[in-house]
Structure 1
């Protein structure tokens, strides 16, 4: 990928979403990381710097607002 980003992608089979979300909840310590949107963890779940960042809504909103690049830089996940 460009910009030095090397994401890890874990595919979740249909019908196994609940188990994956349960595992993510344990990994995240139950924090949810949904950015205040309620509803807890959603798929796709995005981790930045080893911490739960949120789902697609949070990624898109921070990208549109211009906040995503600084978050990625601070985590050492983006080299520009």
Structure 2
């Protein structure tokens, strides 16, 4: 759990993902299209990925990926991120943590 928190606070936007997950790809593309450069951790490609995935599940991520952290705080998965975007709350949140300048 501590490792997730440490990794989640390393950049303004951190995404825990799996390389084969289509929703993960969509969320990563969304942030990149905004001009955000998130730290992306592909849980199926890094040592200890399974343990990180279990920790994300314990934090309440269901499904466990994608798991998006903004400003070190868990925002949630694809549904939560898209909901924030549709409410026009996502971009102001990204600006607040310094992930976007414009």
| Runs of 4+ in structure 1 over 2 Å off | 1-4, 16-25
Give the 5 Å matches for 1:52-67.
52-67=74-89
For normalisation by structure 1, the TM-score amounts to 0.65
Aligned to 1:21: 53
**Greater share of helix:** 2
1:50 CA displacement: 1.4
Tell me the C-alpha RMSD between the 2 structures.
2.7
Count of residue pairs the alignment pairs up: 67
For normalisation by structure 2, the TM-score amounts to 0.53
Structure 1 residue runs without a partner (length 5+):
33-39
Structure 2 residue runs without a partner (length 5+):
1-31
